[in-house]
Structure 1
């Protein structure tokens, strides 16, 4: 596979994150000759009260990827955490096969869920938390302000976890941002995974989207008739930062299969 035939990679980041949190992953993928884009989601843009939500994030990602595929690009999307909700909602109808059926070039070739929400239409992130009877843990994990913006109460331990040196982790955590917590309660309207090949990167030590949740997502996809290629990384919720090489290996296996 030459640089010209490799898919363009678009990373849809998670809540509390900004594109800079994916620098290690971007650098590693670029070293393997991939072009990488990480658009910033409007729900992390900082105003109080928040002025953007799942709908805003969906519109941004759809517009961004549409501009690439209309130029004939093949795109592989890496969806992290809440980014799974956004990507599922935004990328429906943009698959390579769907576009080819219309005589169009380009399209989304793969959805790579990285410890990300992969749920059916009409499902919100908090619906899964309720399903697992974990709603009592929400106020312990997340600090919601009166305007519904929120921060993670202990991201160093419960979101990042072990891996890099403490100083590196501290820098990562210091740059996490306040996010619109309403996004967690908003149901997706579309499920792009129904028509685009799907892979899932499990993170077995994840304390933000637990391994049981992740396995439940994949079971749901398979019950819906989707074949899911899976990978396991023994790390926490931010493998883009703590297990970068493992993520790159998985992505390359997916897009070159």
Structure 2
């Protein structure tokens, strides 16, 4: 589903009508990139959300660009968890948006930091929704490679020692519908990844532990096929928030306005569910 500029305008009008200081009322949107990507990936979406008054953060993953083969999912999880903890302890409502490999990072990091768990412990703040944007929602004790059937994808380019991975043909795999100039910049910004991120296991299933979840589907995705996305989301409880984009693996670059609008709608859904 593509959202129009008119729809974005309606959302902006609604947000601007909120009492006094919207940034104090709206949740903080925390982005987690996928493999090979740094936080620049979300700059355009964050800019659109800023116009609407949403505070945003994007977490840099230690594995991206690392030359240390031992850095993996645990280190990435710790980095995201530190940011979530800081925000939650400040009493902030949080909507997480995770992309691709970032799904495993987000799943692991959210444990104990969701709003309901913190409220039960007498604490304010916490994650009110975790959105998987064409992201891996892997069962506990399963890795990203397990989700791929145990076989590395043909476009995984391993270093000679097998310790690091880079993607071949990222234009086709990640950015097929992204403007050529922008996709060239994105490709230039990609970094190597330690191979272990693909074999480290998920440790937590948010959807089975009362964490509100959502999924953004991408129909033309060459990295995670639509059918695979649907299969992963089938684990979620009924009534989860979803939006579908006629995009490649990177809607945050090809349709940032539409993604920002969808995040706004998801945030509204999460806030309403929090109050019920």
* Structure 2 counterpart of 1:90: 109
1:79, 1:111 within 8 Å by CA — same for their partners in 2?
A: yes
Shift of 1:39: 1.4
Shift of 1:147: 4.4
Q: Name the SS of the counterpart of 2:236 in structure 1.
A: helix
Cα deviation, 1:25-83, whole Å, max 9, x if unaligned, reads 11111111111111100011432x43410011111111111011001111110011011
* Structure 1 counterpart of 2:193: 179
- TM-score for the superposition, normalised by structure 1: 0.92
* Aligned mates of 2:198, 2:30 — CA distance in 1: 22
Which stretch shifts more, 19-28 or 9-18?
19-28
Shift of 1:208: 0.5
* Structure 2 counterpart of 1:192: 206
Shift of 1:256: 1.0
* Structure 1 counterpart of 2:14: none
* Structure 1 runs not aligned, ≥5 long: none
**What are the residue-to-residue correspondences of 1:94-173 with 2, within 5 Å?**
94-130=113-149, 135=151, 138=153, 140-145=154-159, 146-164=161-179, 166-173=180-187
2:72 pairs with one of 53, 56, 65: 53
1:111, 1:196 within 8 Å by CA — same for their partners in 2?
A: yes
* Structure 2 counterpart of 1:205: 220
* Structure 2 runs not aligned, ≥5 long: 1-17, 270-276
* Aligned mates of 2:49, 2:187 — CA distance in 1: 23
- TM-score for the superposition, normalised by structure 2: 0.86
* Aligned mates of 1:75, 1:44 — CA distance in 2: 24
CA RMSD of aligned residues (A): 1.4
1:79, 1:112 within 8 Å by CA — same for their partners in 2?
A: yes
1:159, 1:237 within 8 Å by CA — same for their partners in 2?
A: yes
2:52 pairs with one of 32, 40, 51: 32
